[in-house]
Structure 1
Amino acid sequence: MLAETICSAVSAAGLGIAAITAYRKRFLAATRIAAYSLIPVGLVMTGVVQWVSDLVFKPSTWVGFGVLGLSWVLFASSRAVERRRGGTRKERKAAARAEQGAAVAPAASAPSLGAGQSAAPQTKANAKPSAEPQEDFSDIEAILKKHGI
């Protein structure tokens, strides 16, 4: 009841200011002021003010907001722990399988040998240091494997 009275008083004051503004020949501004001043009365007539006052003054509503806040905190903290551990359980299992597959066949991603070339790996004594450094694409390969490409 108090909220409806306050909204009516605000609307009446706004309409009074709009009338003074119109008297000063500023009709566009007076129209805007009148439009803004009719909003509180419209909210009272639609029942929004009653709904909001019931929402604000009920303890069960505030307990509900508290429960929603607690839910959000639990969700956010679980996501933070998940990021710190390195992903979801599914992602960790996939990474473990990929590591296990790399241990079983370490040269699986190496290019195939052409005809007539030996498949025997070079030893350190046989290997000749090259003048230019070898490019290492292992990090790029890991990213592509992660995305299934």
Structure 2
Amino acid sequence: MFSKAAKTDKAPELSTTVGDAARKAPKAASLISQDLTVEGAIVGEGELHLDGVIRGDVRVGRLTLGDTGHVEGAIQAETVDVRGRVIGSITAKQVRLYGTAYVDGDITHEQLSVETGAFFQGRSLKFQRPAPVALAAPEPEAQSA
């Protein structure tokens, strides 16, 4: 009726899904606190939470600009949430300007949301996705007589 499982000397093998999940685990956001000023470019693929000042360009995966955060330079990211001050352009798929935001510069985006109270001076430029290219049917070759 019941049988014991045979003992083996082999260690259990780890599934590849466990390894994949560990590699895709969310990383903690980097933080530049209110009392810090950075002069120069910031480049990375992760998330940055900024409460301090950056005088230079910022290119990250996601930027969250706190109420005391300030950027003087161009911003490029997948997502940008602005509660502080930006003097320069923003290029991102998704941009949110909260009520305390101050942005003086152009915003290039796919999605833009602006809360009541936010200041925005510049142009709002929508990303232009390239139209799908239709494959042309091959033209019949002329036959020689």
TM-score normalised per structure 2: 0.22
TM-score normalised per structure 1: 0.22
Q: Which has the larger radius of gyration?
A: 1
More strand by share: 2
More helix by share: 1
